Amino acid sequence: MTTAAPLTALALNCTLTPSPGESSTEIMTDQVLEALGKHGVTGRSIRVVDLDVMPGVEMDMGAGDAWPGIRQEMLAADILVIATPTWLGQRSSVAQRVMERLDAELSETDDEGRPETFGKVAVTVVVGNEDGAHGITAGLMQGLNDTGFTIPANGGVYWNGEAMTTTDYKDLDETPSAVASTMQKLATNAAHLARLLAQQGYPPPA
Amino acid sequence: MTTAAPLTALALNCTLTPSPGESSTEIMTDQVLEALGKHGVTGRSIRVVDLDVMPGVEMDMGAGDAWPGIRQEMLAADILVIATPTWLGQRSSVAQRVMERLDAELSETDDEGRPETFGKVAVTVVVGNEDGAHGITAGLMQGLNDTGFTIPANGGVYWNGEAMTTTDYKDLDETPSAVASTMQKLATNAAHLARLLAQQGYPPPA
Amino acid sequence: MTTAAPLTALALNCTLTPSPGESSTEIMTDQVLEALGKHGVTGRSIRVVDLDVMPGVEMDMGAGDAWPGIRQEMLAADILVIATPTWLGQRSSVAQRVMERLDAELSETDDEGRPETFGKVAVTVVVGNEDGAHGITAGLMQGLNDTGFTIPANGGVYWNGEAMTTTDYKDLDETPSAVASTMQKLATNAAHLARLLAQQGYPPPA
Amino acid sequence: MTTAAPLTALALNCTLTPSPGESSTEIMTDQVLEALGKHGVTGRSIRVVDLDVMPGVEMDMGAGDAWPGIRQEMLAADILVIATPTWLGQRSSVAQRVMERLDAELSETDDEGRPETFGKVAVTVVVGNEDGAHGITAGLMQGLNDTGFTIPANGGVYWNGEAMTTTDYKDLDETPSAVASTMQKLATNAAHLARLLAQQGYPPPA
């Protein structure tokens, strides 16, 4: 059966807080990975700020650049989870750094003009104490789509609090029900779509 | 004294709800006009959806177009307040209609290349039951600035509730304190800046 | 074979120009429909501004509302093409009106909580004489995804000219090669993904 | 006379390219500083990527953090120029890092609740080989405004080429006339407004 095929997910946690600091983004990311786990997806999360992802838009920016290693894990995974906190209503500088590095995928295509990301599914996780999630989710989906990823229905989950307040996701007593149900839909859809595309990838354009 | 000079404000309420339906956007707009009133600013609000602002990007789209009338009021005012609800994380179609009509100001310039909007101050009001305010405020400020308006420090106020919840501003028991204090700053700054620019307008570019 | 199954597409042209005025958005939309046609997709385009899509966020806003008719066509189609011009760097008021009406799909779900849009694929067409396409594409993809659509890899095509210039797409001598090749990828991927989802739709969340 | 008062500007060039690499952003920034120079503004530019601006949202992130030094220069200047390249339609990770650090200004207020940035003017410079400028300008203006800066009329200048092409600003034979005239307006307005605010700063909210 379709559902039996094992899948893998790589989550890039783009918090500004180095390990071992607490991270709302990590908590939400772990919940998404757990939801994916129910669908036969084995996931792993990287806290990007702990590594030296160098500025630039090449695959490899030279000695000490951590991106090539992350990229290998991404290419080995079926599902990419981009998770970011919200600062001034925008994705973090770490998330933008990751997207800049994905830009290189646009020019790394096979003989048919298909990037190596084709056939992979991407989903988004956005968290903040108030406002910004729609705009950030939009920018991530567009950038991920442009660099070759497919976005499943309801492919984004987010949480933020009331306007101009300061509660963090990590300080909530429990997962809000709307967030929890969105995560279930996201995971169900991402796993389903990744399986379909693993079995029948996009043909070359004609 | 500077503060003695009377000023006027025009608020464009871009709710999707025709009169006399309840409108969170109207409530928040009225609060901003009240805050401006403390600074000698006489304000008036128009619920744009009640009028036939025709699609297009000319000053006057022909018979029945309500925009030319609104435009005259705008040109007579010192401060423009754009107020919009949030739908799918974006400004309303009514607000976008207004911005499209403002686009014509770009080509309506004096002998020095200055649009008639130069010297006017614009502020924004964004309301929704959850998320979207940063992106909407951003787009409004950029569009208003591009069409000739000056944006005072802390020129935007907004409110939205917790992610994926459904409380409306009109149903709150009281104005949240962060919103109230932001309105005071917005009003103080908008009135101050409008007075400065009324006294000493931008010179022609050199 | 998979490729034999016929599919249908509905394109919503969100130009501000009523028929029979020339529309760059229409030209680009027709090109996308033609590209889809090579993959067994029968398409039809509606110029939304010609109809009275009423303001609001309900399925049916009452007497004279054209949306319920458009919605029936959308529900009958496998692929939705949203096409918009760019005004002040944003999607048109007509496109925003369409998105506002799609908002109602969020609450119109089956017994399993799946909206009727699940299983449908959406792609975007954005055109303007200069700048705005990334932001508009982003907002459309997020909104379409949130209301249940799946976005295929490279699911957006756009064109705009050099910054602050005024050439329109309809006045180009020929289709720029980057646009033409993007359309082919978009069509190939949209048709492929729509077929996969038609055969094996998303399961209910678990 | 008003125009006699000397002013200073600090430009933060947020290119991803370390010195001494060529930078389109630097070229455009230098042109803006030159335009400001005609209005008695003495400017200086910092290539932020050359320094170690640490991730975080505090004023000072500890040993080795370059931000406190940049911040002192910013507080000493009347005009802040934020200049960024465009990657995936968004501001650079370096620009986002700068904005994250400006976030701390929100909580660093005087006895009257006014941040130290009040009274300062901010303008934006956005450059890329194709598309993204409106969205980036919008996000920068909103973020700068929220952290206390005032945005003069026509406070943004940008350039990008035709969609999906690859010409860089640094490779243009000459400055496009629309860009040059926008820079003159931006400089005239920024200097004028900075002088007004230097003479008569915002009063405390009342």
CB contacts of B192 in chain D (<8 Å) are 200, 202-203
Cβ of D102 within 8 Å of Cβ of A88? The answer is: yes
Q: Which amino acid is at C35?
A: A
Residue A96 has its nearest CB partner, among D17, D96, D102, at: D96
Strand partners, D126: D84, D158
**Residues in CB range of C114: below 8 A, 6 or more apart:** C148, C202, C204
Residues 143-162 on D with a CB inside 8 Å of A are 143, 146-147
Global ipTM: 0.96
Q: What is the mean pLDDT of residues D78-95?
A: 98
Both tokens of D173, joined, read 């034979």
Kindly indicate the confidence band of residue B58, based on its pLDDT and cuts at 50, 70 and 90.
very high
Cβ of D97 within 8 Å of Cβ of A100? The answer is: no
Residue D138 has its nearest CB partner, among B142, B184, B202, at: B142
CB contacts of D204 in chain B (<8 Å) are 188
The shortest C-alpha distance from B102 to chain C (Å) reads 9
pLDDT of residue D37: 97
DSSP, collapsed to helix, strand or coil, labels residue B185 as helix
Predicted confidence (pLDDT) per residue in A172-204, tens digit: 999 999 999 999 999 999 999 999 999 999 999
Kindly indicate the confidence band of residue D90, based on its pLDDT and cuts at 50, 70 and 90.
very high
Q: Quote the DSSP letter at residue D49.
A: G
A138 vs D: CB within 8 A: no
pLDDT of residue D108: 84
B165 vs A: CB within 8 A: yes
Q: What is the mean pLDDT of residues D168-184?
A: 96
Cβ of B88 within 8 Å of Cβ of C100? The answer is: yes
B134 vs D: CB within 8 A: yes
Kindly indicate the confidence band of residue D1, based on its pLDDT and cuts at 50, 70 and 90.
very low
Q: A with B: how many residue pairs have Cβ under 8 Å apart?
A: 69
The shortest C-alpha distance from A12 to chain B (Å) reads 22
Kindly indicate the confidence band of residue B1, based on its pLDDT and cuts at 50, 70 and 90.
very low
Q: Quote the DSSP letter at residue C126.
A: E
For residue C131, what are the CA distances in angstroms to A200, B140, C185?
Answer: 36, 16, 22
Kindly indicate the confidence band of residue B205, based on its pLDDT and cuts at 50, 70 and 90.
confident
β-strand C79-87 against C90-91: which pairing, if any?
antiparallel
Q: What is the mean pLDDT of residues D143-152?
A: 98
Which chains would you list as touching D if contact means 3+ CB atom pairs under 8 Å? A, B, C
Calculate the average pLDDT of chain B.
95
Predicted confidence (pLDDT) per residue in C158-187, tens digit: 999 999 999 999 999 999 999 999 999 999
pLDDT of residue C32: 98
Suggest the residue from D19, D87, D136 to mutate for an interface test with chain A (most A CBs closer than 10 A): D87
Residue C87 has its nearest CB partner, among B49, B57, B87, at: B57
**Cα-to-chain-centroid distance, residue A159:** 15
Torsion angle of C-alpha atoms B113, B115, B119, B123, degrees rounded to 10 = -140
**Residues in CB range of D159: below 8 A, 6 or more apart:** C163, C164, D28, D126, D127, D128, D133, D169, D176, D179
CB contacts of D141 in chain B (<8 Å) are 138, 141-142, 145, 151
Domain positions in chain D are: 2-199
Calculate the average pLDDT of chain A.
95
Cα radius of gyration rounded to whole Å, chain A: 16
Residue D174 or residue C3, greater confidence: D174
Beta strands of chain B (E only): which ranges?
7-13, 41-47, 79-87, 90-91, 121-128, 156-160
pLDDT of residue A81: 98
- pLDDT of residue B136 exceeding 90, the answer is yes
pLDDT of residue D2: 47
- pLDDT of residue A2 exceeding 50, the answer is no
**Cα-to-chain-centroid distance, residue A116:** 16
Predicted confidence (pLDDT) per residue in D5-50, tens digit: 899 999 999 999 999 999 999 999 999 999 999 999 999 999 999 9
D185 vs B: CB within 8 A: yes
Predicted confidence (pLDDT) per residue in C88-107, tens digit: 999 999 999 999 999 999 88
- pLDDT of residue C109 exceeding 90, the answer is no
Predicted confidence (pLDDT) per residue in D57-74, tens digit: 999 999 999 999 999 999
B107 vs C: CB within 8 A: no
pLDDT of residue A4: 58
For residue D89, what are the CA distances in angstroms to B12, B145, D134, D160, D203?
Answer: 30, 20, 9, 11, 38
DSSP, collapsed to helix, strand or coil, labels residue A17 as coil
For residue A56, what are the CA distances in angstroms to A63, A66, A71, A103?
Answer: 13, 12, 14, 10
Q: Which of A131-140, B99-108, D137-146 has the lowest mean pLDDT?
A: B99-108
**Whole-angstrom distance, CA of residue D50 vs CA of residue D21:** 11
Cβ of D188 within 8 Å of Cβ of B205? The answer is: yes
C109 vs B: CB within 8 A: no
Q: What is the mean pLDDT of residues A123-137?
A: 97
**Whole-angstrom distance, CA of residue B153 vs CA of residue B190:** 8
Which chains would you list as touching A if contact means 3+ CB atom pairs under 8 Å? B, C, D
**Residues in CB range of D101: below 8 A, 6 or more apart:** D53, D56, D57, D59, D67, D71
- pLDDT of residue A96 exceeding 90, the answer is yes
Residue D134 has its nearest CB partner, among C89, C161, C162, at: C89
Residue C138 has its nearest CB partner, among A38, A139, A205, at: A139
Kindly indicate the confidence band of residue B4, based on its pLDDT and cuts at 50, 70 and 90.
low
C174 vs D: CB within 8 A: no
- pLDDT of residue D114 exceeding 90, the answer is no
CB contacts of B32 in chain D (<8 Å) are none
What DSSP element (H or E) covers D122?
A: strand D121-128
Predicted confidence (pLDDT) per residue in A35-52, tens digit: 999 999 999 999 999 999
The shortest C-alpha distance from D19 to chain B (Å) reads 31
| Alpha-carbon dihedral sign for residues D110, D116, D120, D122 | negative
**Whole-angstrom distance, CA of residue C165 vs CA of residue B192:** 36
Q: Is D198 exposed, middle or buried (CB count within 10 Å of its CB: 0-12, 13-18, 19+)? A: middle
Kindly indicate the confidence band of residue D187, based on its pLDDT and cuts at 50, 70 and 90.
very high
Which chains would you list as touching B if contact means 3+ CB atom pairs under 8 Å? A, C, D
Q: What are phi and psi of B137, to 5 degrees?
A: -55, -45
pLDDT of residue A113: 79
Q: What is the mean pLDDT of residues B17-40?
A: 98
CB contacts of A160 in chain B (<8 Å) are 130-131, 162-163
Predicted confidence (pLDDT) per residue in B7-28, tens digit: 999 999 999 999 999 999 999 9
Torsion angle of C-alpha atoms A126, A131, D54, A54, degrees rounded to 10 = 40
Exposure string over A111-138, b if 16+ CB within 10 A, otherwise e: eeebbebbbbbbbbbbbbbbbbbbbbbb
Alpha helices in chain A (DSSP H): 24-37, 67-76, 93-102, 133-146, 177-199
pLDDT of residue C4: 58
Architecture of the domain delimited by B2-199: 3-Layer(aba) Sandwich (3.40)
Of all residues in chain C, what percent carry a pLDDT higher than 70? 98
Cα radius of gyration rounded to whole Å, chain C: 16
